[in-house]
Amino acid sequence: MKENMLHGWINLYKPCGMTSNDAVSIIRRKLRIKKVGHGGTLDSLACGVLPVAIGEGTKIVPFVMGQRKEYVFTVRFGEMRTTDDLDGEILETCDVFPGPQEILDKIPFFMGEQQQIPPKYSALKIGGRRASDLMREGEDVELAPRTIMIYDLELLRQEDVRHFTFRLECSKGFYVRSFARDIAAVLGTLGCVSYLERTRVGAMKKENAILLEKIIEICHIERDYSYVYSIKAVLDDIPAVLVSSEEASDLRMGRSIPWPDTALNGDVLCLENDLELGIATANLGLLSPKRNFVYNKE
């Protein structure tokens, strides 16, 4: 079957009970696209926004993964599990359940830049192997703390005596499961995640996400790709610059070009007319190509 020449991103709403790789595989098969990736793993237990890259959109996965993320999640206090969520086995329980005011008093402690130890059951690699795989084989692992940022943290409601729901905005590399473990420890109890939903990644929000079953349905009845975001739409947090056809030719050949705005610094999206040409680095009056997009015609 002929490959589909689509380029961009899909704001997918991943359901619970499915891995991120499962969702990507379904989209690859249904849309007939070879190059497919995603911008940040969601655990099988979790649901919500999963940015899926297709075609040349896969070249900006690191940029999308670096964007701010928002989660709504519920912490179950009084229980510790191997995976820090309900997918794991119970290790320990206790009868210490904090009240709303106790939790509110501790929220400022977690704001801003933090050092966070990832869950042992995670996709982080040790010696080329996933920590979660090593743990399942009976080998204990030690993961180093990582610098993360919490931009906003809100206690939304108390569900019952042991369950509390939060909303949190954070940087890349943040683990909600680690937060549940850590806030419980600060409160003198145990904790794990009982519900997790990602509601935003950069410009992609829950309210604009498309369900996987909807994509499957559309693929069966018509060639409608209106749900595919352009690369430009996804990269709305970095500057965009227009280049001439001559400058575009130089950038495609891997050559830097002079740029009159010497104050421009860092990554920029280069546009030739309205077409995304690639990502370049601006520095000291030069634009140097970093990721060029190549569009094959059907």
Q: What is the mean pLDDT of residues 73-100?
A: 95
Does residue 97 carry a pLDDT above 80? Answer: yes
Q: What is the DSSP string of 49-102?
A: EEEEEEGGGGGGHHHHHTS-EEEEEEEEETEEETTSBTTSPEEEE------HHH
User: Using one digit for the tens of pLDDT, what is the confidence trace for 114-164?
Assistant: 998 887 665 656 566 665 565 565 666 566 788 999 999 999 999 999 999
Q: What is the mean pLDDT of residues 232-243?
A: 89
- Output the CA angle 274-276-278, nearest 5 degrees: 150
User: Using one digit for the tens of pLDDT, what is the confidence trace for 177-197?
Assistant: 999 999 999 999 999 999 999
Does residue 75 carry a pLDDT above 70? Answer: yes
| Sequence ranges of the domains in the chain | 8-66+203-233, 69-198, 238-292
Q: What is the mean pLDDT of residues 58-87?
A: 94
User: How far lies 165's CA from each of 25, 99, 198, in Å?
Assistant: 32, 13, 13
> What is the model's pLDDT at position 3?
57
> What is the model's pLDDT at position 1?
42
Q: Establish whether domains 8-66+203-233 and 69-198 are of one fold.
A: yes
Q: In the structure, how many helices (H) and strands (E) does the chain have?
A: 8, 20
> What is the model's pLDDT at position 145?
83
Tokens 């999308």 correspond to what residue? 64
Q: What is the mean pLDDT of residues 242-247?
A: 93
Residue type, 12: L
> What is the model's pLDDT at position 117?
83
User: Using one digit for the tens of pLDDT, what is the confidence trace for 205-225?
Assistant: 999 999 999 998 887 766 778
Q: What is the mean pLDDT of residues 23-45?
A: 90
> What is the model's pLDDT at position 168?
97
Q: Which of 22, 43, 182, 250 is catalytic?
A: 43
Q: What is the pTM of this model?
A: 0.89
> What is the model's pLDDT at position 295?
83
Topology of domain 69-198 in CATH is Pseudouridine synthase (3.30.2350)
**Would residue 43 show up in a list of annotated catalytic residues for this protein?**
yes
- Output the CA angle 90-91-95, nearest 5 degrees: 85
Q: What does CATH list as the number for 238-292? A: 2.30.130.60
Q: What is the mean pLDDT of residues 81-89?
A: 92
Give the Cβ contact number of residue 216 at 10 Å.
13
CA 211 to chain centre: 17
Buried b (16+ CB within 10 A) or exposed e, 50-88: bbbbbbbbbbbbebbbbbbbbbbbbbbbbbbbbbbbebb
Q: Decide yes or no: CATH 3.30.2350.10 for domain 8-66+203-233.
A: yes
